Amino acid sequence: MTSQRDLKIAIFMMVTFLVTGIICYASFTPPAPEEPIRLMFQNKGGKVLFTHSGHIGNYSLDCIDCHHNDDGTYNCSQCHEETGDESMPSRADAFHSQCKGCHEENGSGPVECNSCHSL
């Protein structure tokens, strides 16, 4: 047998839990996506738009195809600096040979200067 009072306490508790839940949910905003959707490279040759998520989703590439180092470093500049040498290509050389190289190998994707530097 539930008394009127017990019922009121139960309802009070349920409402309290619900409100607490909503506040907690709202105060923890979801984390920003780890992987970029698209990237715009500003450079002397003209801006390049790179569809990062498209290259993964639509063209079925693995992270390691481009992030060829396997240590969780995703920024190429961590290793490929502005000027390179025989053992380490510069950032621009690394990009040109990786981006263009794959497009040439696949026979698809832009290889002409102004089809990448299109903006």
Among 6, 11, 52, 57, binds ligand HEC (CB under 6 A): 52
Q: Which is nearer to ligand HEC, 16 or 97 (CB)?
A: 97
CB contact set of 49 (below 8 Å; sequence gap of 6+): 38, 39, 40, 118, 119
Tell me the two tokens of residue 30.
């979801």
As given in the structure block, the two tokens for residue 49 are: 């738009």
Q: Say which residue the tokens 């040759």 belong to.
A: 45
Q: Quickly count: other Cβ atoms within 10 Å of residue 89's Cβ.
A: 18
CB of 70 to ligand HEC, least distance (A): 9
User: Is 97 among the residues that bind ligand HEC (CB under 6 A)?
Assistant: yes
Alpha carbon distance 101, 109 (integer Å): 10
Residue 57 as a binder of ligand HEC (CB under 6 A): the answer is no
81 forms part of the interface with ligand HEC (CB under 6 A): no
CB of 4 to ligand HEC, least distance (A): 58
Distance (Å, whole) CA 102 – CA 80: 19
Residues engaged in binding ligand HEC (CB under 6 A): 34-36, 39, 41, 43-45, 48, 50-52, 54-56, 59, 61, 63, 65-69, 71, 73-80, 88-89, 91-92, 94-100, 102-103, 106, 108-113, 116-117
